[in-house]
Amino acid sequence: MVGALVKSELILWRGAKHSGKTTVAGELADHAQREGFRVAGLLAPAIYTDAHLAGFEALDLRTAARALLAKRTTNKGPKRAFSFVEAGLKLGADALNGEATRDADLIIVDEFGPFELAGDGWRKQVDSLLVDTSAVILLVVREELAGQVRRLYADVAGEELEANQPESVAKVIAKLRDRRNAENT
């Protein structure tokens, strides 16, 4: 899709719906920051009310700014169960823009899903990041969509990791260390 201009490396951070992909991606971001890596991007942690999923917020990993991203709709039909909130969409777009991600070693995009596969959501930002940065880009992806995302970005070097496997965080940290060591030699 983005061709030979790609400088970044892509990791698909996959797992089942509501399996803790975002939580472990947050742990990865914390670990990377403790090791001195610059982390940018966005997490979309779930919001629960009375033990029921009420929505999602957007969390900018660089600034720690937060905004409501999506809230459960009253519509119980087969269509969308959540509606997006403009403030959260703006915060996410800002967290993924070139200025916010310019010096990042690791950029996390939570989540890359059906909207992005259709060309909406964070798709434009991800396509730009793949050619404008040399960072490791980690896309949080539902297990059932991983194949479609891999095909979409078939020309981008990378790998798929199970989000909830203990060795996955260690593999990403090792990759960041290797890239830092290669830059310093």
In the chain, the domains with their CATH numbers are 3-43+97-183 (3.40.50)
pLDDT band for 183, please (50, 70, 90 cuts): confident
The average pLDDT across 58-65 equals 98
What average pLDDT does this structure show over 144-165? 94
pLDDT for residue 113 is more than 80? yes
Q: What percent of the chain has pLDDT over 70?
A: 92
Burial (CB < 10 A; 0-12, 13-18, 19+), residue 130, is buried
- For position 6, what pLDDT does the model report? 54
Q: Which DSSP symbol is given to 142?
A: E
Parallel, antiparallel or unpaired: strands 82-84 and 66-72: antiparallel
CA–CA separation, 106 vs 181, rounded Å?
Answer: 15
pTM for this prediction: 0.92
User: What number of CA atoms fall less than 13 Å from residue 40's CA on the CB side?
Assistant: 25
State yes or no: pLDDT of 182 exceeds 70: yes
Q: Quick one: pLDDT at residue 73?
A: 85
DSSP E strands, the chain: 9-15, 39-43, 46-49, 52-60, 66-72, 82-84, 106-110, 136-142, 158-162
- Asked if pLDDT for residue 79 goes beyond 90, the answer is no
Give me the mean pLDDT over the 88-110 stretch: 96
Tokens of 151: 């095909």
Q: Does residue 80 carry a pLDDT above 70?
A: no
CA distance 82 to 73: 5
